[in-house]
A and B are shown apart, each in its own frame.
Chain A
Amino acid sequence: MLSIVQAHKGLLDKKFSALELAKDFLNKIKKEKISSFLSVSEELAISQAKEADKVIAKGKSSILTGVPLAVKDNIQIKGLKNTCASKILKDYIAPYDATCIKKLKQLGAVILGKTNLDEFAMGSSTENSAFFTTKNPHDLKRVPGGSSGGSAAAVAADLCCYALGSDTGGSIRQPASFCGVVGLKPTYGSVSRYGLVAFASSLDQIGPLTKTAEDAQIVFKAISGKDELDSTSLDSEKSDLGTKNLRIGVPKEYFGEGIDKEVEAIVKKAINSAKAEIVDISLPHLKYALAAYYIIMPSEASANLARYDGVKYGLSKTAKDLFNTYLKTREAGFGDEVKRRIMLGTYALSAGYYDAYYLRAQKVRTLIKQDFDKAFEKVDVIMTPTSPFLAFKIGEKIKNPLAMYLSDVYTVSVNLVGLPAVSVPVGSIGKLPVGLQIIGKPFEENKILEIAKIYG
């Protein structure tokens, strides 16, 4: 397992060149058995690696120069396909770079390819990809989690040094937990969303999946910051990195019904091993978070996905008039889960239901936020399991949408409130990893990652 820090050291010590490193990963990707990549950008990787070797020879490298990464296929890289694992964007080529990609390119990154996801990042297993399901590297019969399952699996299988994902309700943290890697969902606004295909705009954030907490700090530093092209982006306020006199809040609501007892035991042991003050806290509105999320998220998604109309780009199935062109294009282009969420969101926003569903959910969101604000008066961080259960079997939940939605039960509240959170591996049951979620105050990414290092 080659981390960013190790790769950087190897490049500086001339143990290998950036070109050798890129070729080594490209060869491994060609032989992969877990189907984590949707497309491989060999040409781009080779040219970036050659360029990186020149920069390294001049002694001007950054820590990311020549270090290969994989990118979730909903983050745009100019000139490469950006399918979102959807038939509607199967042949779509990105016309510009996402801001995070632009920043990584400037630092000399080497891009190996685009990774699999649930269609439009809607799902918790990659089974909703229109192309294929990614397998968990620890057990090929099981899912890698989702929606950033391709990115998490590629990092866990050592097919790249690190990867980018996106997290709307747990889509970085849950697959990180299932695959045994570190996954950071930054504070809402920390990382520019420019070039990330919009799903639920008040919840979406781009973040890193890495092998160590230190690597996550490196990538976060590289991609964060205010961007004129995303008006919701903000400059992160500097946070106190100190982990002394740490007070860890443990909300009782996360350890109730539905949690795998072995997962609970490992997570509790990990929390106690932090040698900090443990404070029992309560987030009384947490039990409403998933229901509020399943109104707010599809509402925003139904509006965002209206852009796939068969007119501007992507798949087009023409019919006798414009209305029927919309119907046919969207019928042929979208998969089951995407249609389900568009239907749900359209219903929640439609006349007569807006107050009962959408507005009520946004008010419940306020109450959840107040719960977290109150908790953070007493504690520095909150620790919970990332997922109530281990990586499940392929096919186990796909026929029951509600059972699949329950995978997100411990992660969605963080997106509703906009907080940073990281999933870090803290043990395993058999071959399957268990993740601990560390939730921080706004813009305290570095602090939660500093704490995550205890478990590295």
Chain B
Amino acid sequence: MISKQDTEHIAKLARLGLSQSEIKKFQKELSSILDYIKLLEEVDVSNIKPTFHPSEHYFESQSVMREDKALPQSPDELIKLAPDIEKRHIKVKSVF
């Protein structure tokens, strides 16, 4: 069972605002999901390499880098999507 403090700490790391009732709910639900995931503990993984990507082996021998050349693209279309802009700048609330 993960604690209430742990749940609050994870929510903070994830930048998720959660109400007290949500914290309580997720504490319970995450605990039961993690109980199920405990199943993995019975697998002997000593000397087993991780697979982070299903086609890792295809890229061992070939480069996926393109030529370092600027593409004719303007960021204007993308900047326009921001909720708060001034000229060609995105406005952000202060950090402190």
Contact = CB atoms under 8 A, between A and B. Distances in A.
Contact of B93 (A95, A319, A346, A362): A319
A325 interface: yes
Nearest to B77: A95
Contact of B30 (A92, A95, A344): A344
Interface in A334-393: 334, 339-340, 342-344, 346-347, 350, 357, 359-367, 369
B33 A401 contact: yes
Main secondary structure of the interface of B (DSSP, over half): loop
Interface residues of B, number: 49
B50 A363 contact: yes
B16 A331 contact: yes
Interface stretch (A29-37, A144-152, A288-296): A288-296
A366 B52 CA distance: 9
B81 A364 contact: no
B17 to A, nearest CB: 3
Contacts of A362: 50-52
What size tier do the contact residues of chain A reach? Answer: 35 or more
B66 A310 contact: no
B37 interface: yes
A282 interface: no
B55 to A, nearest CB: 5
B17 A331 contact: yes
Given A321-B94, A360-B40, A313 B81 contact: yes
Interface string B31-60: 011101101110101001111111100110
Interface string B11-24: 10111111000100
A202 B78 CA distance: 26
Contact of B45 (A326, A343, A363): A363
A399 B38 CA distance: 22
Contacts of A27: none
A198 to B, nearest CB: 14
A249 interface: no
Given A95-B81, A402-B33, A343 B14 contact: yes
A312 interface: yes
B37 A291 contact: yes
A417 B49 CA distance: 14
Interface string A422-456: 00000000000000000000100000000000000
A189 B90 contact: no
A365 B53 CA distance: 10
Contacts of A369: 51, 54
A339 B26 contact: yes
Given A189-B55, A287-B39, A291-B37, A327 B94 contact: no
Given A322-B92, A366-B50, A189 B83 contact: no
A302 B92 contact: no
B81 A285 contact: no
The 3 closest A-B pairs by CB, nearest first: A418-B54, A331-B17, A327-B17
Interface of B: 2, 6-7, 10-11, 13-18, 22, 26, 29-30, 32-34, 36-37, 39-41, 43, 45, 48-55, 58-59, 64, 66, 77-78, 81-84, 90, 92-96
Given A294-B36, A327-B15, 16 more contacts: A93-B81, A202-B53, A234-B58, A291-B36, A295-B37, A314-B83, A321-B95, A327-B17, A340-B30, A342-B14, A343-B11, A344-B30, A346-B14, A366-B48, A369-B51, A442-B55
